[in-house]
Amino acid sequence: MDILSLKNVTAGYGTITVLNDLSLTLRAGEILTILGANGCGKSTVLKTAMGLTRVTGGALALGDKSITATPSHLRAAAGLGYVPQTRNVFQDMSVIDNLRMGGYLRPKQFEHDVEEVFALFPRVKERRRERAGNLSGGERRMLSIGLTLLLKPKVLLLDEPSSDLAPATVDIVFRAIQDIHTSLSIPILLVEQNVNKALEIANRVCVLVRGREALDAPAGEIDTRHLHDLFMDGGVRTS
């Protein structure tokens, strides 16, 4: 079953076109990773799914419902959970109050739901009374993923969740992504620069070159040497 689909989407910002006639489908039970050089349009795919770009062609659907014309603020309620690369948590609020904000749609279930987040990220539980502005980069990343999970999304869109993190924290975040996928059964559209980690975790990989799909294949069939050819500007790490 198709969970989230972009069909022949052309999108960008103002007069700039970034995605050119792009078709991409996230299926049930899947982690689909988008790879590509810096500036090729990976973040723009996620922003387009969230309604944050100017779409000039094509169609988007969540399950069997068209979201092409759905305003951005209603897409979260429709089931799209989006974790931008630099999510600003509410710096001046405590961690637990940040989580309460994430759970505003289900206040009665909060105490139950938040335990799910704490199980994924014990560190967030330890720091729950801390001011969010005092968290480390890794803790803040965990909190921002947790906040989004409290919306009970049908799909999770993650933009470079491992960027700028220490290796030990990268491992924690990737393990959590795996758990979100398997234990919580949420399909994930993942943008990553860490190719090896992304290939380990993904079911399928889509490579973008200048806003177009250059490759769509099961993760196990990807030849990393071929990836190098596709990332001509060297914007991607493979080790």
Contacts of residue 189, Cβ cutoff 8 Å, sequence gap at least 6 = 4, 26, 32, 34, 45, 46, 49, 155, 156, 157, 158
Taking CB under 6 A as the binding criterion, the range among 37-45, 72-80, 91-99, 121-129 that sits at the site for ligand ADP is 37-45
Least distance (Å) from ligand ADP to the CB of residue 121?
A: 25
Pick the closest to residue 52 from 33, 71, 38 (CA basis): 71
Question: Does 190 interact with ligand ADP (rule: CB under 6 A)?
Answer: no
Least distance (Å) from ligand ADP to the CB of residue 230?
A: 13
Question: Does 16 interact with ligand ADP (rule: CB under 6 A)?
Answer: yes
- The nearer residue to Mg ion, 161 or 187, going by C-beta atoms, is 161
Q: What are phi and psi of 147, to 5 degrees?
A: -55, -45
Interface pick for ligand ADP out of 3, 18, 24, 206 (rule CB under 6 A): 18
- The nearer residue to ligand ADP, 42 or 181, going by C-beta atoms, is 42
- The nearer residue to ligand ADP, 126 or 233, going by C-beta atoms, is 233
DSSP string, 30-75: -EEEEE--TTSSHHHHHHHHTT-SEEEEEEEEETTEE-TT--HHHH
Taking CB under 6 A as the binding criterion, the range among 39-47, 92-100, 143-151, 218-226 that sits at the site for ligand ADP is 39-47
For CA atoms 84, 88, 90, 94, the dihedral sign is positive
Binding site for ligand ADP (CB under 6 A): 13, 16, 18, 36, 38-44
